[in-house]
């Protein structure tokens, strides 16, 4: 066989190989979905609804049309990726469980930032998880009812001092009792308990703080502190006082404009440092608000973003604005 022929074969092989690589590259690109991020006022995510089969890879090419955003998926371990203007960031994800996932931006791009959400519908016939109703629904609580604490502690209750009292609080510490009672009710119950008549009002408040701290862990609180800083502080403020950077800017969107003209007021973010408010609301009610949101008040709904464990940790964290470790 001549040398010429051998060269020709090599060339054909090379070309064929390159073409194969090219086709593979091209098809990889073509089934990638380009996902544009824009501030919610400018349209949010485009497209906002994605569908994929369970277990199949979903290729996304992420880019921003304005400022820096990010891409995160609620209730999943998928790491947050930045979405930069003028750049394409490629991600491939695989969701194994059928259902609806919410993807969202974690960068505070403006007062409406939290509206930057979209859904990924994962199709397939896996075993559907039984739907349990949130505790506030099971208890039949009206989480929008106004409430105001009747009794306020003389000083900020301290969990550490409460622990040192060595009271037998086992019935009060059970998860079921704790979650369905507000701190004021628990204090009233302790005050009425014949075992504790010799203790002062302040000491029983310290016992309440201890009951609250024994229903969480330092690790859970540390995680919640991060979640709070990332997702809540912009409105509720780092110190919980309702004075976050966007608190003054909350406004009705055009579709809710009728509310603004019909005398509805935009409500300020709740002040978690106010004992009148926080000592009269139960963990179940707080969790309900976090899950369901304010239905138009400016308080976003987080049920699709956080796991149940995360919502309970956030609840415990919100009470830390009321209680002190030591005094
Ligand atoms: C965009 C602004 C905004 C963000 C972000 C926000 N909130 Fe709120 N939140 C509000 C407003 C406004 C209210 C008061 C109106 C209402 O209760 O619906 C409120 C009320 C609440 C309440 C109700 C308290 C009560 O006693 O009824 C809870 C609990 C709460 N927020 C928790 C959170 C948590 C936890 C986060 C973060 C995961 C968060 N919020 C993020 C604006 C916000
Ligand atoms: Cu954003």
Ligand 1 binding residues, C-beta < 6 A: 114, 231-232, 234-236, 246, 250, 267, 269-270, 277, 281, 286, 289-290, 294, 297-300, 302, 314
pLDDT of residue 154: 92
Cα–Cα distance measured from residue 187 to residue 237, given in angstroms and rounded to the nearest whole number: 28
Q: Which atom of ligand 1 is nearest to the CA of 143?
A: 27
Q: Whose alpha carbon is nearest atom 9 of ligand 1? A: 299
Q: What is the pTM for the complete model shown?
A: 0.84
pLDDT of residue 232: 93
The number of angstroms, rounded, from the C-alpha of 36 to the middle of its chain's C-alpha atoms is 23
Cα of 48 from ligand 1 centre, angstroms: 24
pLDDT of residue 197: 96
Q: Which residues are registered as beta bridge partners of 19?
A: none
pLDDT of residue 71: 96
Q: Which atom of ligand 1 is nearest to the CA of 314?
A: 35
pLDDT of residue 77: 84
Burial group, residue 265, by CB count within 10 angstroms (0-12, 13-18, 19+): exposed
Which CATH superfamily hosts domain 33-123? Cupredoxins -  blue copper proteins (2.60.40.420)
**Which regions in the chain score pLDDT beneath 50?**
23, 27-28
- Sequence ranges of the domains in the chain: 33-123, 135-319
pLDDT of residue 49: 96
Cα–Cα distance measured from residue 308 to residue 114, given in angstroms and rounded to the nearest whole number: 19
pLDDT tens for residues 103-137? 999 888 877 888 899 999 999 987 667 778 999 99
pLDDT of residue 272: 96
pLDDT of residue 109: 82
pLDDT of residue 132: 85
Q: Whose alpha carbon is nearest atom 34 of ligand 1? A: 232
Cα of 201 from ligand 2 centre, angstroms: 47
The residue whose CB lies within 8 Å of the most ligand 1 atoms, and thus the one to mutate among 107, 289, 317, is: 289
pLDDT tens for residues 156-191? 999 999 999 999 999 999 999 999 999 999 999 999
Q: Which atom of ligand 1 is nearest to the CA of 268?
A: 12
Q: Whose alpha carbon is nearest atom 24 of ligand 1? A: 270
Cα–Cα distance measured from residue 217 to residue 65, given in angstroms and rounded to the nearest whole number: 42
Cα–Cα distance measured from residue 87 to residue 65, given in angstroms and rounded to the nearest whole number: 10
Q: Which residues are registered as beta bridge partners of 67?
A: none
> Cis omega before residue 47 (within 30°)?
yes
Cα–Cα distance measured from residue 113 to residue 182, given in angstroms and rounded to the nearest whole number: 32
Which one of the ligands is nearest to 236 CA?
1
Q: Whose alpha carbon is nearest atom 20 of ligand 1? A: 270
Strands 49-53 and 117-123: what pairing? parallel
Cα–Cα distance measured from residue 224 to residue 208, given in angstroms and rounded to the nearest whole number: 21
Cα of 40 from ligand 1 centre, angstroms: 19
């Amino acid at each position: 066989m001549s040398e010429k022929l051998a060269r020709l074969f090599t060339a054909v092989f090379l070309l064929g190989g390159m073409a194969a690589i090219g086709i593979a590259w091209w098809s990889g690109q073509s089934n990638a979905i380009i996902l544009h991020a824009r501030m919610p006022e400018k349209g949010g995510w485009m497209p906002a609804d994605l569908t994929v089969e369970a277990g199949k890879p979903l290729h996304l090419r992420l880019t921003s049309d304005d400022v820096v955003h990010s891409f995160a998926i609620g209730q999943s371990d998928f790491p947050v990726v930045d979405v930069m203007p003028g750049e394409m960031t490629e991600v491939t994800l695989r969701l194994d469980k059928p259902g609806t996932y919410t993807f969202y931006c974690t960068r505070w791009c403006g007062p409406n930032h939290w509206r930057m959400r979209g859904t990924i519908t994962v199709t397939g016939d896996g075993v559907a998880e039984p739907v349990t109703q949130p505790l506030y629904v099971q208890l039949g609580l009206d989480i929008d009812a106004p409430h105001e604490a009747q009794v306020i502690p003389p000083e900020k209750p301290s969990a550490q001092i409460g622990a040192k009292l060595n009271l037998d609080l086992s019935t009060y510490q059970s998860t079921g009792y704790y979650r369905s009672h507000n701190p004021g009710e628990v204090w009233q119950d302790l005050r009425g308990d014949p075992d504790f008549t010799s203790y002062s009002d302040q000491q029983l408040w310290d016992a309440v703080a201890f009951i609250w701290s024994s229903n969480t862990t330092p690790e859970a609180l540390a995680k919640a502190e991060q979640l709070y800083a990332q997702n809540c502080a912009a409105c509720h403020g780092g110190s919980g006082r309702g004075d976050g950077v966007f608190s003054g800017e909350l406004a009705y969107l055009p579709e809710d404009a009728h509310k603004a003209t019909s005398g509805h007021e935009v409500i300020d973010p709740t002040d978690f440092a106010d004992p009148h408010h926080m000592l009269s609301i139960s963990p179940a009610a707080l969790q309900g608000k976090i899950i369901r949101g304010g239905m138009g008040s400016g308080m976003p709904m987080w049920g699709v973003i956080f796991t149940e464990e995360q919502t309970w940790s956030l609840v415990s964290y919100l009470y830390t604005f009321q209680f002190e470790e030591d005094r």
